[in-house]
Every structure is written in C-alpha cells, then in structure tokens.
Chains A and B, each alone.
Chain A
Amino acid sequence: MLSNDDLKWMYRMMLLMRESEEKAIMLSKKGELPTLLSGSGEEAIPVGICASLHPDDYFQPHHRGMSDGLAKGLDPKLLFAECYGKPAGICKGKGGNMHIADFQHGNIGIYAILGAGLPISTGVALAQKMQKTNRVIVAMIGDGGSSEGTFHESLNMAAIWKLPIVYVVQNNQYAMTTSVSDAISVKDISDRAKSYGIPGATIDGTDVLAVYETVYEAVERARRGDGPSLVECKTMRWYGHHSGAGDDEQMGWRYRPEGEAEKARENDPITKLEKYLLDKQILTEKEAEDIKQSVKKEIEDAVTFAKSCPDPKPEDALKGLFTE
C-alpha cells in the first residue's frame, strides 16, 4: 500500500526525470552535449517500477532511459557529469547517456544493443536464486527490443528455472522510425507471455499507479519463488528518436501521423498524477509548486557541478578494460 509520502516521492521523481530529460535536450541542442534519446513522457514506467522494488533489488532500465536510474537512487550530479564525459561521472565518462549504470543502487545499466540486457538481467536473477538472497530484478525492454531473439531465449530460461525477474516492455509505439504495427504480430506484446507459460499483463504506461500496482504484484510473485512475469506498459514517445530529429520525421522520412506527439503530450503522466494528488488533497498547489522549484534547482546544480568537474586526460581512455 502506498503512503502519501510514497505518492509524493513518485510525483517528485517524475518531475526530476522530466527536468533532466528536458535539460539534456536543451544542452544537446546548444551543442554542449552530444545527441541523445529523450524519455520525456515515459517517466511513469521507471518510477512505478522502482516504487515497487526494495532498495537492494536490481533494475535494468530501458534504452530510452538516461534518467531512469534517478528513480533507483542515482545522484543527478553523477548523471550529468557522465553526460559531460567527466571522470566524476557515474561511469567515469566512458559510458555516457546510453550506458548509465549505478551498481551501488542495483541499477545494472542501460545496454545500447537492444535486447542485450535481457539475458544479463536473467543471469542476475539466476545468481539471486542460487544465493537465496530474496532479491528481485526488473528488466526493461522497448517494443523494438522485444523482437530480438534474446527476448524469447531469456523469457524461456527464466520460466523453466522460475527465476525472480519481471520483464517490463515500455511500448512507446516506435522503434526509431518503425511502428509496432509493422514489426509485431500480436496486438499486445504481453500476449507472448502465453508462449512461456507465465503471467502477462498490458497496462496504461502513463498511469504511474497502474504501473506500480501491476509491477508490484509481479515483483512479489517473483520474490515468493513463483517465477517471472511479463508486463507491457503502453505509452507514447514525445520526441523523435533522438534530439535533433523531428518529432514525427527522421531525415525527411515521416513515420507517424501529424498531431500524434501533441496528443501524447496532452496525456502527460505527471499532470495526471498531479491532478489525482490535488483532488485527493494529498498535495496542495503550494506544495506542488515548491516541489517543481526544488527539482529545477537540483538539476541546475547538477549541471553546474558537471561543468565544473575536471576533464579526463586523453590517455585515461586506456584504463579499465581488465582488472588486475
């Protein structure tokens, strides 16, 4: 059961992620950061997931999830220092926005080969089962990545071995420029759960409470030793594939109908939660405004910190491949 503090945490965390994503896009457009993928509008999914996890549980974010790690405890300063390629960054400036990992908080990283994180997460789950740690992992994948062979192979292995893992598909309708209708044979990706004899559910990925409730149930099922589940969260991408590309077209190729992105913005998961919290009098207008201001400042401070950190030496590139 979520307390009022939990709900406020969700609200603040979604705002913090939104602010990070929007700030990063702005910095990318200014040329301060390289191009990046924006997860704006999709915050309800990682936040709903992380709310359902224990601090020592594991989490593998979505490819479009630079800021997803914040929900699992990552300090925004270390996130932005990484985006700026600084040694103070969470991955020492070697991984960047496509590889944010934070092992101290159980975030096992973003994988830029789509689908590659699924078997790795499955292995983390196997290690938990073998060591009887009672820890669970939630592994995310996009609609595009769900067509990779690793999706099938991983879900099959997790099912036969009853591993403590929940697979969450963040279905934002497009894999770069390819629509789900061109790439996926079923209406709901969660239908594929039947192939592995595991539970599957499709929910509204813009409703953070629905995400929390469904994922929480799947996580606790996994923790009990009853095996994996597949949860599909339907959502919508707000921007184009990466910053710099058009919202509806890439290199002149128009792949989604005009107005779709605008419509998605009208269905903002943050606005929806805010309305719920105000209606239920869990939050006042004043509190909401204070939270927004504190989030802005936190990200502003993170960017200032990142810029102030020393640059790497070129030859730092040669370090870190092997451990002694």
Chain B
Amino acid sequence: MREIMFVQAINEALREELKRDEKVFIMGEDIHTGVFGQTRGLFEEFGGERVRNTPLAELSFTGVGIGAAMGGMRPIVEYMFSDLVLLALDQLANQAGKLRYIFGEQINFPVTFRTMNIGGGAAGQHSDSAVSYLMHSMGLKIIMPSTPYDAKGLLKSAIRDDNPVVYFDEAKLMMRKGEVPEEDYTIPIGKGDIKREGKDVTVVAVGFAELLAESAAEKLAKENISVEIVDPRTIVPLDEEIILNSVKKTGRLVVCIDEQPVSSFTSEVAAIVADKGFEFLKAPIKRVARENVPVPHSAIMENYVVLNEDKVIKAIRDVL
C-alpha cells in the first residue's frame, strides 16, 4: 500500500469530504493553507464560500459553525492551535455540547471542530493541549489519532457524524508516514486499536504519545520486556473495554498523553481501571504526562516539561 504523511492524510480527508457532500464547508483563520499546509489547495479547488477565511474571532466563528449546522450545513471549524480553543470555550462547552439536550432533541449539530497542539519553542500560549478542558465538558465527542490511517478515517467519521466532534492533531505527528489506502474508508468513533501486542505491561497512549510508546517498546523489547500498546484513538467516548481487556492480560498499566496531567485523560483512564479493573493490577498505575507548568520557551526546559521517550520508559520500568 502507498505511504503518505499525516498532514497529507488530513488534506485528503478534507478534500474528499468537500467533494462528496456539498453541505460540508471549512472555516477558520488563514484557512488558505493552514499552519502546516493541512488545508493547502482546498481554497483553489472549492472557492472562498466553502473554504472560508474568517476574521480573528474564535468565540463567534465557533458559534457560526454551530448555527450553520443548525441551518442545514455540515461545517468544519478550524482553530489554528489548541490554546485558541479556550477563547471559544463558551460556544463549545455551553452551546455545542449542550444544546441538543437543552432543546429536547429537536435538532442535531453535525459540526466538526479541528485544532492542533503545537509547541517547539512557542512557549506558554502556543503549546498547550485543550483535550482535557473539553473532555470535562459534555456532549462533545473527542478524537486524537496517532497514525495517518487513523487520522483520515476518523476525520471522515467526524465530518459524517451528526454530533459535535472535536478532532485534535499534534504538530509532532504531521510528518509521520504510514499506509493509507486510496479508496474511501472510515474508522468508527469510540473504537480503540491495539497498536502492538505484548504481555508484560499495557501502555495506553493517544496521539503523539503513541509514537513515543512505540519507540520505547522497541527499545525495551531488546531487554525482553513485552509492551502492549493500546491506542483508544477516541477520547470521548472512550473504548473502556479494549483498555480493561489489555490490563486483564498484562496486569500493569501506564497511561500517556502529551498534555498537562491534572484532571486529564490520564486521570480518567487511571480512575476507570482502578474502579473496574482493580483486581487485574499487579502494580500501581503510572501516568505519564507533561510537568504541571506552562511550556517554557527554552528548548532545554521545554523538553523537560513535555512528554518524551525517557519519561515513558521510566514509567514502564517503574511498574515492572
């Protein structure tokens, strides 16, 4: 099968969905290219009505997306990077996630929100992940893929879903290559994937953390440590079954994501396994995430704060 980069997989998914359904359109700041070229060429192909550049107004262009979904369209709303999502929190958490429920199911909201966690010397306001802020709110599905194949299939599912879906990319994955079929396919939202089979320890990892888990597992294999990598791919709804089944097999759990640790994805997975899989555990659960400070500008300090391979390896050793 052909191999393409993550960023190309996203571009293909957007292009194919814009082509497939004329109700689909995309809007956001500097959408002509996207920061990493994820929307490159779409404006030229589909025009400014359907590839709509917006003013700097995250809160309200989020609302415009919600309203356009209400009015019969299937919008994709892009935020240049994750920190900007916080500007739109009312529209995401109070409106998009709640309105179907509040209005007694009179209407659905087929809207996709996309953003990217960046970083790389970008400091405290261009490096965050907004995953856990939104995970805490209600009524939003949340996706965070780790491979080009998952990215394309899940993005298509998000766009075709009749619920609001938030889809997270990470800059560190944009150049990751992987096999992606030429033909149309989707991946169900809410279904995890075993990325590597193993028997000694379960590593639950999403997004960039999955890539680190793979390289960590490769190194540890040389010491005869067998790591099983479970990638939930979707954070809400979470595939609890695939996680619990793996922990049942290995008896050990490390949970990883490249974001702040408090009230987060890692806390939630740890709590679920402690609640529903306590009898499987042979060691305490380890969470691997960022240090709980803003991401600093200095590369030396940034590398220390964010998720890295050493942290993943150390956590795995700790539970063995």
Decide: A119 and B105 in contact? CB cutoff 8 A.
no
Is B64 engaged at the interface, CB distance under 8 Å to the other chain?
yes
| Contacting residue for B70 out of A90, A102, A108, CB 8 A | A108
**List of A residues within 8 angstroms of B101 by Cβ:** 94, 320-321
In the bound complex, how far is the Cα of B59 from the Cα of A153, in angstroms?
Answer: 8
**List of A residues within 8 angstroms of B54 by Cβ:** 157
**List of A residues within 8 angstroms of B163 by Cβ:** 322-323
**List of B residues within 8 angstroms of A118 by Cβ:** 60, 63
CB distance from A262 to the nearest CB of B (A): 36
Decide: A323 and B100 in contact? CB cutoff 8 A.
yes
**List of B residues within 8 angstroms of A131 by Cβ:** 71-73
Decide: B66 and A123 in contact? CB cutoff 8 A.
yes
Is B68 engaged at the interface, CB distance under 8 Å to the other chain?
yes
Decide: A127 and B67 in contact? CB cutoff 8 A.
yes
**List of A residues within 8 angstroms of B57 by Cβ:** 153, 156-157
In the bound complex, how far is the Cα of B54 from the Cα of A122, in angstroms?
Answer: 13
Decide: B104 and A126 in contact? CB cutoff 8 A.
no
Please judge, given known A-B contacts A120-B66, A321-B101, whether A126 and B55 are in contact too, CB under 8 Å: no
In the bound complex, how far is the Cα of B66 from the Cα of A195, in angstroms?
Answer: 25
Decide: A154 and B71 in contact? CB cutoff 8 A.
no
Decide: A119 and B61 in contact? CB cutoff 8 A.
yes
Is B49 engaged at the interface, CB distance under 8 Å to the other chain?
yes
**List of A residues within 8 angstroms of B214 by Cβ:** none
**List of A residues within 8 angstroms of B103 by Cβ:** 91, 94-95, 99, 101, 103, 109
**List of B residues within 8 angstroms of A103 by Cβ:** 103, 106-107
CB distance from A316 to the nearest CB of B (A): 10
Decide: B105 and A320 in contact? CB cutoff 8 A.
yes
Please judge, given known A-B contacts A121-B67, A122-B67, A127-B72, whether A154 and B60 are in contact too, CB under 8 Å: yes
Contact mask A78-94 → B, CB, 8 Å, 1/0? 00000000000111111
Decide: A150 and B63 in contact? CB cutoff 8 A.
yes
**List of A residues within 8 angstroms of B91 by Cβ:** 116, 119-120
Of listed B61, B68, B162, residue having the most chain A CB within 10 A: B68
Please judge, given known A-B contacts A124-B67, A126-B71, whether A116 and B95 are in contact too, CB under 8 Å: yes
- Give the number of chain B interface residues (Cβ < 8 Å): 41
Decide: B63 and A154 in contact? CB cutoff 8 A.
yes
| Contacting residue for B105 out of A128, A156, A157, A323, CB 8 A | A323
In the bound complex, how far is the Cα of B50 from the Cα of A93, in angstroms?
Answer: 37
Decide: B104 and A89 in contact? CB cutoff 8 A.
yes
| Contacting residue for A123 out of B59, B68, B138, CB 8 A | B68
Within 8 A of B (CB), among A111-157: 111, 113, 116, 118-128, 130-131, 133, 149-150, 153-154, 156-157
Name the CB-closest residue of A to B99. A109
Within 8 A of A (CB), among B205-251: none
**List of A residues within 8 angstroms of B62 by Cβ:** 119
Is A278 engaged at the interface, CB distance under 8 Å to the other chain?
no
In the bound complex, how far is the Cα of B54 from the Cα of A157, in angstroms?
Answer: 8
CB distance from B110 to the nearest CB of A (A): 9
CB distance from B165 to the nearest CB of A (A): 10
Within 8 A of A (CB), among B51-106: 54-55, 57, 59-73, 75, 90-91, 94-95, 99-106
- Give the number of chain A interface residues (Cβ < 8 Å): 44
In the bound complex, how far is the Cα of B49 from the Cα of A87, in angstroms?
Answer: 40
Please judge, given known A-B contacts A93-B104, A323-B163, whether A126 and B64 are in contact too, CB under 8 Å: yes
Decide: B139 and A124 in contact? CB cutoff 8 A.
no
Decide: B67 and A126 in contact? CB cutoff 8 A.
yes
In the bound complex, how far is the Cα of B99 from the Cα of A124, in angstroms?
Answer: 15
Name the CB-closest residue of A to B95. A116
Is A160 engaged at the interface, CB distance under 8 Å to the other chain?
yes
Is B149 engaged at the interface, CB distance under 8 Å to the other chain?
no
Name the CB-closest residue of A to B164. A322
Is B303 engaged at the interface, CB distance under 8 Å to the other chain?
no
**List of A residues within 8 angstroms of B67 by Cβ:** 108, 119-127
**List of A residues within 8 angstroms of B73 by Cβ:** 126-127, 130-131
In the bound complex, how far is the Cα of B105 from the Cα of A103, in angstroms?
Answer: 10
Decide: B100 and A90 in contact? CB cutoff 8 A.
no
Please judge, given known A-B contacts A118-B60, A120-B63, whether A111 and B95 are in contact too, CB under 8 Å: yes
Name the CB-closest residue of A to B25. A130
Decide: B63 and A123 in contact? CB cutoff 8 A.
yes
Please judge, given known A-B contacts A150-B60, A153-B60, whether A321 and B138 are in contact too, CB under 8 Å: yes
CB distance from B128 to the nearest CB of A (A): 21
Of listed B25, B63, B90, residue having the most chain A CB within 10 A: B63
Within 8 A of B (CB), among A272-324: 319-323
CB distance from A216 to the nearest CB of B (A): 22
Decide: B59 and A119 in contact? CB cutoff 8 A.
yes
**List of A residues within 8 angstroms of B99 by Cβ:** 109
Decide: B104 and A94 in contact? CB cutoff 8 A.
yes
Please judge, given known A-B contacts A156-B55, A321-B100, whether A124 and B105 are in contact too, CB under 8 Å: no
> Besides the contacts A93-B104, A130-B25, what 6 more A-B pairs have beta carbons closer than 8 Å?
A119-B64, A120-B63, A120-B70, A122-B67, A150-B60, A322-B141
Query: Chain B: residues with CB nearer than 8 A to chain A?
Result: 25, 49-50, 54-55, 57, 59-73, 75, 90-91, 94-95, 99-108, 138-139, 141, 162-163
Sample of 15 A–B contacts (CB below 8 Å): A90-B106, A109-B99, A109-B103, A116-B90, A119-B62, A119-B66, A120-B91, A123-B64, A123-B67, A131-B72, A149-B60, A150-B63, A154-B64, A157-B55, A323-B163
